[in-house]
Structure 1
Amino acid sequence: MEVFMVERSLKGIPMDQLAAAQQRAIATAQEMTAEGKPIRYIRSTFVPESGRCMCLFESQDQETVKALNEKAQIPFTNVSVALDLTP
């Protein structure tokens, strides 16, 4: 499994909608894993001033991460392999 970073531009999004999107990502990851496509939501970082949001997922491939975000209807601009350096 690799870590992938999903980049988003969410300028102006209300906090309740941001929280709902996060919950959809978590629920969709659980659904997809139960369907045999393992993926895990790790965390998100949001910068309110710019609207930039970065979300980390653990998955076997980039296509699964893209599919999750499309299924959860969460807009994204890029998905790339990332190194999670959390100690």
Structure 2
Amino acid sequence: MPVSDQSTSRIIEITHFSKDKKPNKLTIDSQPPSLNENGFPEEGGYFLRIGDAVFHLSEAEAAHLALTILEVHRQHSLQFMKIAEQRKRRERGEGEDK
């Protein structure tokens, strides 16, 4: 009975440096769906690492996290565009939006 490889693959690695120049990494690895030892399918998952802390996310948790980040990013972009437009109007002397 074939069992798929349980190895993980790196999706992303982001390194930031603290004020004292020490690196800190955020990494996300994925583990693909597979067959368990009894031949039943098992969901894949994700491993979110921040420094030494590791979080195992299910497919549903990872999807929820991704969609939440995308929605908040959309809201930030809309807010940024509104602020930029208000600034342009002030520069043109058109006053504030209500």
Q: TM-score, normalised to structure 2's length?
A: 0.28
RCO higher in structure (CA 8 A, sep ≥6)? 1
Q: TM-score, normalised to structure 1's length?
A: 0.32
